[in-house]
Chains A and B, each alone.
Chain A
């Protein structure tokens, strides 16, 4: 527990010379160093898509709902990704549709984390009956099948972007709630939290100074993972024809092309680009989210009990050095 692992020994042995370096900075650089290539790649791709979402409409060569040629015209120099079933330019729709996907993805992720985080923190911190009630509600939402609920909600509340954000947020908060609750419950048992309570600190103070800052990294990692889920959900809501009919989105592109007989015409260019875009952005968000989660919640490192190939070192060199 205390002395048997190498980690603690090196920490203890290094104590007297422990530098007073500002820890957050050190931690940030350590984090960056710990980030693997996959996280960096994911972050780069995410940034690229965000950029497209920002300036997409400005660089789109054609208007979105403008028929600029034959239905299902093949890719050509003037239309690199060809035309779809309405004779619309696929590239332009793809660029403009990125905005919808990213907005819905980000907002829905934030909504779900806000709901889930709040419920998780309250359930975990207050405990007892409140915890029981909140967790039963969470379980209830967890077992509702997503897709029928989305279909019904979209039908009932109307098909605009805001409603889609709220619907996705309402469906996806449960995982965050359970995760955060578990984390808060374990923090609650930490001695320093109990100490603060015995000092006479109010519940709100304990929550904000000791608990929320500790779960924030987890929340951030979870938000990024949630973005992937939300973008995917937006796509299939639109694919089911329940998206906002007035704004172009990747899901709507796939839906209208398939409905318009893209398969029959072998017009792969009308279906594949939005599909690939969704896949890539979801993959990127997942890479970043999982990478963040891994580096913020270091799982147990391989224990010292594992037999490893330590190296032998000839003593001569060492002695010369001394």
Chain B
């Protein structure tokens, strides 16, 4: 069920803007290897300036996602990493529109040229599970304990595609085979399957309606190394076989590298660096990325591990300057006043830091509101004009 391509797909708001004079904080604009210079139709997902706020019960609000931009081509695998509370899972849930009533969202989520966030739940609903599907962390919670696995995988088929009973059954067996579950297990109940099998079943359920984009939220966190390897390999092979684009959220940097072609690092609700997997580890540009890499134990490199001092900032209050500055070993004066923007440097590396020739804040037009307006990145400045 390929969603018919909207004739106006190319005319998404971001594209209709005049070519910006300033470097746009957009992943699409990085000069990547030639194969990445893809025609617009290769672009599957563009997220522009995604914000999520939560109203807190005790009053006040939490700015959990603070302007995230992401781009994804068809069939591409992107990793999204960061510490707990950095907003990576919230961003993912926002893409699916699975946020509680206490949440409010701003920004554009352009899927296949259409802004599915434009009207909130109403515009997301037709796409949810049909084009964008999600696999959650605790596979056990994703299942109804009193129904068989097969029944539960068939449910979205019956609901969204109104298949007959026999056709749904055939599709379930096909899906189970795809994720490597023996057909006989279709009649089992969730608790009768091992953790790995349940996660496979959850993936099968997500794939039921042939989505183009699979969002996976910590899909292997509760699993053992060997089972984790099995599930990650399954995700890669599915992506390759079905041309499925994948966003993998995880706090486990090494696990992400086994799957993702590109990795976006999130900190305090923002993407601070986005790079090809190899680059990210070999030459991290953002000090936070570098610190994460240095904190990750490795089998054979017996380098002493270092932790990152301090804790992420509270997202309840407005942040001044760079969110990472208080924990950063290379903090400069400018970091405390001007938040860096996510921008490509001369080598095409995309990161948000004043160091290493990044975040060319000096090229920004002087904002009418004074220095503070530099804050939210160039695309916001454009939108306001």
Touching chains A and B, CB distance < 8 Å: yes
Q: Which residues of A contact B (CB under 8 A)?
A: 1-4, 6, 8-10, 12-17, 302-316, 318-320, 322
The residue in chain B whose Cβ has the minimal distance to the Cβ of A308 is B101
Q: C-beta contact mask, B213-230 vs A, less than 8 Å → 1, else 0?
A: 000011001100000000
Q: Taking the nearest CB of chain B, how far is it from the CB of A7, in angstroms?
A: 10
**A-B interface, 6 closest residue pairs, ranked by CB to CB distance from nearest:** A12-B85, A310-B99, A311-B104, A310-B103, A313-B104, A308-B101
Distance between A295 CB and nearest chain B CB, rounded to angstroms: 14
| B189 CB within 8 Å of chain A | no
**Complex A-B: 12 CB contacts under 8 Å:** A2-B137, A4-B217, A9-B64, A10-B54, A14-B316, A16-B312, A303-B141, A306-B100, A312-B105, A313-B106, A315-B383, A322-B373
Residue contact B85 to A3, C-beta cutoff 8 Å: yes
Whether A309 contacts B121 by the Cβ 8 Å rule is: yes
Closest Cβ of chain A: how far from B370's Cβ, in Å? 11
Given A310-B99, A315-B51, A322–B372 Cβ distance below 8 Å? yes
Interface of A is mostly: loop
A9/B100 in contact, CB under 8 A: no
Could you tell me the distance between the alpha carbons of A19 and B56 in the complex, rounded to whole angstroms? Answer: 16
In the assembled complex, which residues on chain A have CB atoms less than 8 Å from the CB atom of B119? 312
Interface size on B, residues (CB 8 A): 58
B140 to chain A: closest residue by CB: A1
Interface of B is mostly: loop
Cβ contacts under 8 Å, B373 to chain A? 319, 322
Given contacts A312-B106, A315-B107, contact A13 B315 (CB under 8 A): yes
* Interface contact A311-B380, CB-CB below 8 Å: no
Assess whether B380 is in contact with A315, with CB atoms less than 8 Å apart: yes
Cβ contacts B197-224/A at 8 Å (1 or 0 each): 0000000000000000000011001100
Given A313-B53, A313-B106, A314-B106, CB of A13 within 8 Å of CB of B375 = no
Residue of B nearest to A304 (CB): B100
Given contacts A10-B56, A13-B314, A322-B318, A312 and B104 within 8 Å (CB-CB)? yes
Q: Chain B, 232-267, contact with A by CB distance < 8 Å: what is the 0/1 string?
A: 000000000000000000010000000000000000
Contact between chains at A310 and B101 (CB < 8 Å): yes
Interface status of B31 (Cβ within 8 A of chain A): no
Minimal beta-carbon separation of A5 from chain B (angstroms):
8
A311 contact set on B, CB distance < 8 A:
101, 103-105, 120
Residue B26 interfacial (CB < 8 Å): no
CA distance A304 to B52 in the complex (A): 14
**Which of B102, B142, B222, B314 touches A1 (beta carbons < 8 Å)?**
B222
Query: Chain B residue with minimal CB distance to A15?
Result: B311
Report the minimal beta-carbon distance from B274 to chain A, rounded to whole angstroms. 20
Nearest-neighbour CB distance to chain A for B154, whole angstroms, equals 19
- Point out residues on B near A: beta carbons under 8 Å: 49, 51, 53-54, 56, 62, 64, 84-85, 87-90, 93, 97-107, 117, 119-121, 125, 128, 136-138, 141-142, 217-218, 221-222, 251, 310-318, 369, 372-373, 375-376, 380, 383-384
Distance, CA A176 to CA B366, complexed state (A)? 70
Contact with B100, one of A3, A4, A308 (Cβ below 8 angstroms)? A308
Given A1-B221, A4-B218, A14-B316, residue A319 in contact with residue B105 (CB < 8 A): no
Bound CA–CA A312/B53 (angstroms): 10
- A17 near B316 with CB under 8 A, answer yes
Residue of A nearest to B317 (CB): A17
**Contact, CB under 8 Å: A3 / B99:** no
Extra 7 A-B pairs, beta carbons < 8 Å, given A4-B137, A16-B311, A304-B98? A2-B84, A16-B314, A17-B314, A303-B141, A309-B121, A313-B106, A315-B383
- Report yes or no: B100 in contact with A13, Cβ–Cβ below 8 A: no
**Chain A hits for B380, CB < 8 A:** 315, 319
Q: Given A13-B315, A17-B316, check contact A309 B101 (CB 8 Å).
A: yes
Known: A9-B90, A10-B56. A15 touches B51 (CB 8 A): no
Query: In chain A, what residue has the closest Cβ to B369?
Result: A320
Cα–Cα distance between A134 and B87 once the two chains are bound (Å)? 50
- Complex Cα distance A47/B117, Å? 53
The answer to whether A307 and B314 touch (CB under 8 A), given A6-B54, A312-B106, is no
Chain A's closest residue to B269 (CB) is: A13
**Distance in Å: Cβ of A278 to nearest Cβ of chain B:** 38
Contact A310/B84 with A1-B221, A4-B89, A305-B136 known, Cβ cut-off 8 Å: no
In the bound complex, do residue A304 and residue B311 qualify as a contact, i.e. CB atoms below 8 Å apart?
no
B323 to chain A, nearest CB (A): 11
Are the CB atoms of A310 and B120 closer together than 8 Å? yes
Across the interface, name the chain A residue whose C-beta is closest to B84: A3
Q: What's the Cα separation between A322 and B321 when bound, in Å?
A: 12
- Among B84, B93, B128, the residue within 8 A (CB) of A8 is B84
- With a CB–CB cut-off of 8 A, which chain B residues contact A302? 100
Chain A nearest Cβ from B127, distance in angstroms: 13
Contacting residue for A308 out of B84, B99, B138, B318, CB 8 A: B99
Chain B: CB-nearest residue to A9: B85
Which residues of the other chain, A, contact B107 by a CB distance below 8 angstroms?
315
Contact across chains for B376 and A322 when beta carbons are under 8 A apart: yes
Whether the Cβ atoms of A307 and B138 lie closer than 8 Å is: no
Q: Which residue of B lies closest to A17 (CB)?
A: B314
Q: In the complex, what residues of B have CB within 8 A of residue A6's CB?
A: 54, 64, 90, 100, 102-103
- Contact A1-B137, Cβ < 8 Å, known A12-B85, A307-B98: yes
Taking the nearest CB of chain A, how far is it from the CB of B136, in angstroms? 7
Q: Are B384 and A316 in contact (CB under 8 A)?
A: yes
Chain A residue numbers with a CB within 8 Å of B117 are 312
Within 8 Å CB of A4, what residues of B?
Answer: 89, 93, 136-138, 217-218
A310 partner, pick from B104, B217, B316, beta carbons under 8 A? B104
Q: Which residue of B is nearest A10, CB measured?
A: B62
Q: Name the contact of A319 in the complex, choosing from B62, B85, B120, B376 (C-beta under 8 A).
A: B376
Known: A3-B251, A307-B97, A315-B51. A14 touches B372 (CB 8 A): no
Complex Cα spacing A181 to B21, Å = 70
List of B residues within 8 angstroms of A315 by Cβ:
49, 51, 106-107, 380, 383
Compute how far the CA of A17 lies from the CA of B313 in the bound complex, rounded to whole angstroms.
8
Q: Which residues of B contact A12 (CB under 8 A)?
A: 84-85, 312
List the B residue with the shortest CB-CB distance to A26: B58
